Amino acid sequence: MLLDFRRFMAQGITHFVNMQVGVLRNAGVVGCITSNSNGGYWGRAIDHNEIFAQMDFPSYDNYPVWGGSLKPDAPSKVAMMLDTVRGWTSSKDRTAGWMVAEQLIGAQGHDIMGWTPRPDQIVAWSAQTLLHGATSLAFFRYRAATFGQEMFCYGILDHATPRGKGRKWKETKKLYELARVHEKLWLGPVTAKVALLYSIDGIFSWNAQPQSTAFEFTDEAQRMYHGFWRNGAATDVVTMQRVLDSFPQADALLAQYSIILLPAPIMIPDALVELLSSFVKLGGILWVGYRSDLKDSNNNMRRATSRLADLAGVEIEEIESLNAPLTRSIVEKTSGIKSNATVWTDGLRISEGSGASTLWSYSDDFFGSLGLSAMTQRETGSNGGVVVYMGTGLDAELLLPLATDHLQRQKVPHTGLSDNPMVEQLLRRDVDGKVWRVAIDHGGKTSNLDDGTELKPFAVNIRESVEQPQNPPRQLYQ
């Protein structure tokens, strides 16, 4: 009933939106119908994929900080949100682009205000939206209002700033110059070989019953996404249903994506289980999160073992919720590195004869004493396919070596790791087919790129990539 209610809400909103689109279409409006979505979209009873299906392109309000913010959202989280918006586009090849209808430029808040963007930080945030596929951007707002609920939403010009004056006016001009000079780059398609898949029904199920006070689907998605972002690998964030509609055959899916990520896939269509099984047998790499394949399409518990756990070659022997601030001790199997797991624990027992191996094991007096694994990897078939099962909440940085190894194994184009975790890098191909390497420093410290180029705080560096980078093999954990 909780799932049905959220479906009802989402369908009602979509129906209302489509009524309005119909009015505009009947009036001859073509090419410019959109609506601006705000952040936190996975926490609402809305399906933005359906909302934008009848419009010309999606729009998004990009606020990495808001009222009460002590610091900005992590740049990898902002990037993932932008990639999700790109996935809402209705065109199958997602080349139509999308719009940032509101890009914050000053301090923000309705009653409580938050972090004030540092000099050039809005240039970095805005360039990030272009890097992830936005083809249009407008700042919110031109001049700050003197009355109303949003009088503390500061703009390009503050309440008394003269036109053509002030730091933010200069930064706005800098961003628009960056957009114009590299127009061919920003209008080129974003090509990704990594895909993060989610289910709207699955998210509705999690929102109804999060099972742990520490659970947040966005955090679980970013946990998997982060390592590929750090490596400068483009990632599509799309629904499971879009993959089923676009790639009904496993060979077509593998031709599009080399690595697929499934964060907390509590609910998964039967057809997708079969498709992913074939995808792995053909040589694809699949990452699976905890509580996988737990419920059917009606949000009822399945009376069968997880098919994704079976594919990973493991059995879920014990479970426990790690309500905040509880943690569970874990250890990396080969290096002995120790850490703490959060949110949830699936206690994994490797199935006899499956060939799966332990990456991380529990080391506490319960799961550890039973010899259960926290994270496993299984190599299947002769084509190099891999299934990773992540039974708990590992720190995203701990997953970097595995992400690096899998990108190299699959020969996915990527920039490689930067020394500064706040530096974002990505390879983009422009409309003429030329490949460019874009680097954005989201932190407050000067960094050096691999060619010795100095990247100042919040600076954007764009250079032609002569050849695809070839990274030397590296150990998973050193």
Confidence (pLDDT) at 137: 96
User: Binning pLDDT at 50, 70 and 90, where does residue 96 land?
Assistant: low
Q: Tell me if 2-186 shares its fold with 194-409.
A: no
**For the chain, how many residues are written?**
478
Kindly state the average pLDDT of the residues 63-68. Answer: 93
Question: Helix (H, G, I), strand (E, B), or coil: what is residue 377?
Answer: strand
- Average pLDDT over every residue of 402-414: 97
Q: Which residue has the higher pLDDT, 93 or 352?
A: 352
CA dist 99 → 61, 80, 167 (Å): 9, 16, 24
Q: Any idea where the domains of the chain sit in the sequence? A: 2-186, 194-409
Q: Hey, how many other C-beta atoms are within 10 angstroms of the C-beta on 203?
A: 24
Alpha carbon 37 to chain centroid, angstroms: 16
Asked if residue 254 has pLDDT above 70, the reply is: yes
For the segment 116-125, the average pLDDT, to the nearest whole number, is 97
Whether domain 194-409 has CATH 3.30.360.10: the reply is no
**Contact, 210 vs 274, CB < 8 A?**
no
Contact 137, 179 (CB under 8 A): yes
Point out the least confidently predicted range of 89-98, 253-262, 329-338: 89-98
What is the CATH number assigned to the segment(s) 2-186? 3.20.20.80
**pLDDT-wise least confident of 8-22, 95-109, 152-166:** 95-109
- 279-306: pLDDT as tens digits: 999 999 999 999 999 999 999 999 999 9
Q: Give ∠ CA 109-77-2 in degrees, rounded to 5.
A: 80
Say which range, 52-66, 183-197, 462-476, has the weakest mean pLDDT: 462-476
In this predicted structure, the answer to whether residue 472 has a pLDDT above a threshold of 50 is no
Q: pLDDT tens-digit profile of 319-363? A: 999 999 999 999 999 999 999 999 999 999 999 999 999 999 999
Percent residues over pLDDT 90 in the chain: 91
- At 332 the pLDDT is 97
Q: What is the mean pLDDT of the chain?
A: 94
pLDDT at 225 over 60: yes
207 vs 97 pLDDT, higher one:
207
- DSSP secondary structure string for all residues of 314-346: EEEEEEEEE-TT--EEEEETTT--EEEEEEEEE
Q: Where are the beta strands (DSSP E) in 215-337?
A: 235-239, 259-262, 285-289, 314-322, 328-332
Quote the CA–CA distance of 283 and 112 in Å, as a whole number: 51
pLDDT at 444: 83
For residue 164, what are the CA distances in angstroms to 105, 146, 155?
Answer: 15, 19, 13
Q: What is the pLDDT of residue 95?
A: 55
pLDDT interval class at 449 (50, 70, 90): confident
First and final CA of the chain: distance in angstroms? 49
From 3, 36, 60, select the one nearest 11 (Cα to Cα): 3
Q: What is the mean pLDDT of residues 40-58?
A: 95
pLDDT of 21 reads 97
CA pair distance 405, 474, nearest whole angstrom: 7
